[in-house]
Structure 1
Amino acid sequence: MRLNKKQWIQVLLSLGVAVWIFWFLYKDVKFQSLLDALRETSFTLIGLSILVSLLGFYLRAWRWKLLIEASENASVSTGRTFVALMIGYLANLLVPRAGEVARCGVLAKTENSQMGKLFGTVLLERTFDLFFMLLTVFLAFVLERELFSRLLSELISLETLYQKVSGLIPLLIGGFSVFVIFIYLVFQKYRDAGIVKKIRHFIRDMLTGLLSLKDVKNQLGFWSSSTAIWITYYLTMLLVALAIPSTASLSLSSVLMVMVMGSIGMVAPVQGGIGTFHALVAFILMAYGLSDEEGKIFAVIIHSSQVLTIVGFGLISLGVFFKITAVKASKSL
């Protein structure tokens, strides 16, 4: 995936913001404190957390395979979707949100799949991820409602937020309506132009991918894997919490709240959630009585273990991808 000058500037700006947030958070944390914490950390549990996270990646690859097969009526191996997925995660560490396009591009080359349909299945995946994330947030709210309510009231005024949002609703509806009408008129005027035909074809394929859920034969597998993916996220967080003495006494519901805050931090448009993940995880751990330093050390340990896992398996997957494409190229000669 090639980036133009403007995109490179955006990437460098987001990386600069991420690095600045990370530096600001950790400028007062002594390196010796991190080394002391690592000496007391159970690397057996850290290793188990990595294995669990890899299981989550595999389940995500398998779930994607179900959607692709429903969209294209063609068989796809889970190994190929896993390779594409890990390369996508690796791309996200370099360019925020590039991973979704990257993994579709990888699978399009290795499986000769249609890019539009693949992107549609990814959008559907992300829709369900958002749905399960909201369910997780709701569960955390129910289990930790007192802490949740207190933190929310400290951060924002609910009454002020409601007033601002309600005042913007008419403007948002009007602006969206004008945008839809404008796009419709442009498409009507230039419907026979080559670029418009390509866009229409891509959108049609994307909608086919989005609607592929109803054609998934293994509905039980799809829904159970979607649930299991979030369970692996939780178990990964729990195992790391148990591995570090300062967080080993956290309750199960407290770990769930930490996971929720970490998930929100990963949504930020910076490379790999750098900085934002650490800030939110450290913030919530301080609410549970940990010191500022202990919260930041926990955040850097779990984030680093996941980043190293993605880099390692992402590079291996990249090698596998180059080998597959080289074999395909040699056969076509």
Structure 2
Amino acid sequence: MSKKSFIKFLKIAIPLGIGILVIYYSLSAATPEERATLWKNIKGANPVYIAASLVFGTLSHLSRAYRWQYLLQPMGYHPKLSNRFMAVMAAYLANLGIPRSGEFLRGALLTTYEEVPFEKAFGTIISERIADFIMLLLVVGFAITLQTDMLLTYLKEQNINPLYTVAFLIFAVGGIVIGFKIIQRAQAGILVKLKNFMNGLIEGMQSILNMRNKWAFIGHTLFIWVMYVLMFWVIKFTIPEISYASTAVILAAFVIGSFAISVTNGGIGVYPISIGALFVFFGYSKEGGEAFGWIVWGSQTLLVLVLGALSFLFLPILNRKK
């Protein structure tokens, strides 16, 4: 195995291994009665609410694909909605294998099937992520407002500090800006090619400032995040104990899940365990909380697996002329 292949293997294996170890530790630490209760809660989940969650999730993905056009239009590109949607779903599927690899794949698919330069497509994706990060911060702020003392105490006990994420992003953006300025002064060699790539990337990112449909973009962004919260919130009705949880508690669990999902491939293991720990913190049973987490994670992961696989299948079929 070459060094490059080995590094690629580690990028997949290490996060996946962490998730499997977390699952094993959690289940092995539980008593037979606790495991039986957890399984009972999962098996007894009302499929109507799971179906509603899947509908909300699908609507959020469709809205994301539709919103993407507002960033591509200022540069003169008009890819088909079907291709944009399939690129989004294929990207989510890729993230289950290698975290954050989906963004690169999404841009590459639009380049392949719609002839949008990769650097410009990827620039629009970065702009999208900035908008989504702002929304996440707003949700975090609202959740902390509703449960300030308890949520901050929980974050402290779990050694989770959202400020570290913000500081890292500020540091990363600062480094990128400095790197851009250095590369922009290049006059020859590979740095010139890199400068041209960077210019296309910047053009893609600046499209968010030049789009004509700013309010429609904002509307879709709000809709996407409302759907995210709804697909999470509606699952509470599948667990009798959790069905009485307040909106503040559910929103706090949503925030914890949002941070946990980036730790391993698609949040495997860590996502349901973190949510279960939060529900325990608020006085609910570990079995009920973890069952809630597993149902949310399992249903949305299944949705990504199905729609992502179908996207990989139909992209070349529907674009065979290209």
TM over 0.5: yes
| Distance 1:293-1:222 versus aligned 2 partners, 3 A rule | same
Gaps of 5+ in 1: 329-333
Cα distance in 1 for residues equivalent to 2:72 and 2:179: 32
Cα distance in 1 for residues equivalent to 2:127 and 2:211: 12
Match for residue 204 of structure 1 among 199, 206, 218: 199
Letter in 2 for 1:84: A
Correspondence 1:282 to 2:263: no
Quote how far apart the aligned CAs of 1:96 are: 1.1
Cα distance in 2 for residues equivalent to 1:88 and 1:300: 22
Quote how far apart the aligned CAs of 1:33 are: 2.8
Quote how far apart the aligned CAs of 1:57 are: 0.5
CA contact (8 A) 2:89 2:304 kept: yes
Letter in 2 for 1:145: T
Cα distance in 1 for residues equivalent to 2:201 and 2:184: 17
Cα distance in 1 for residues equivalent to 2:206 and 2:261: 27
> Which residue pairs with 1:18 in the alignment?
19
1:63 is paired with a residue whose SS is: helix
Root-mean-square deviation (CA), in Å?
2.8
- Could you tell me the percent identity over the aligned residues? 24
CA contact (8 A) 1:50 1:305 kept: yes
> Which residue pairs with 1:309 in the alignment?
303
Letter in 1 for 2:8: Q
| Distance 1:132-1:187 versus aligned 2 partners, 3 A rule | closer
2:61 is paired with a residue whose SS is: helix
Quote how far apart the aligned CAs of 1:68 are: 1.6
Cα distance in 1 for residues equivalent to 2:148 and 2:15: 33
Letter in 2 for 1:46: I
CA contact (8 A) 1:41 1:245 kept: no
Gaps of 5+ in 2: none
2:23 is paired with a residue whose SS is: helix
Cα distance in 1 for residues equivalent to 2:180 and 2:221: 37
Cα distance in 2 for residues equivalent to 1:214 and 1:157: 33
Letter in 2 for 1:91: A
1:4 is paired with a residue whose SS is: helix
Runs of 4+ in structure 1 over 6 Å off: none
CA contact (8 A) 1:22 1:278 kept: no
Cα distance in 2 for residues equivalent to 1:76 and 1:314: 19
| Distance 1:20-1:156 versus aligned 2 partners, 3 A rule | closer
CA contact (8 A) 1:283 1:295 kept: yes
Greater Rg by CA: 1
Match for residue 192 of structure 1 among 184, 188, 193: 188
CA contact (8 A) 2:38 2:290 kept: no
- Bigger drift between 249-258 and 28-37 goes to 28-37
Correspondence 1:132 to 2:135: yes
Cα distance in 1 for residues equivalent to 2:180 and 2:61: 40
**Deviations, residues 49-103 of structure 1 (Å, cap 9, x unaligned):** 1001100111111111211222x21222222111000000000011111100011
- Equivalences for residues 124-273 of structure 1 within 5 A: 124-155=127-158, 180=178, 184=182, 191-193=187-189, 195-268=190-263, 270-273=264-267
> Which residue pairs with 1:331 in the alignment?
none
Quote how far apart the aligned CAs of 1:198 are: 2.2
Correspondence 1:91 to 2:94: yes
Please report the TM-score for the alignment, with normalisation by the length of structure 2: 0.88
Cα distance in 1 for residues equivalent to 2:228 and 2:14: 29
> Which residue pairs with 1:55 in the alignment?
59
1:27 is paired with a residue whose SS is: helix
1:327 is paired with a residue whose SS is: coil
2:283 is paired with a residue whose SS is: coil
2:187 is paired with a residue whose SS is: coil
- Bigger drift between 136-145 and 22-31 goes to 22-31
| Distance 1:34-1:293 versus aligned 2 partners, 3 A rule | closer
Aligned length: 310
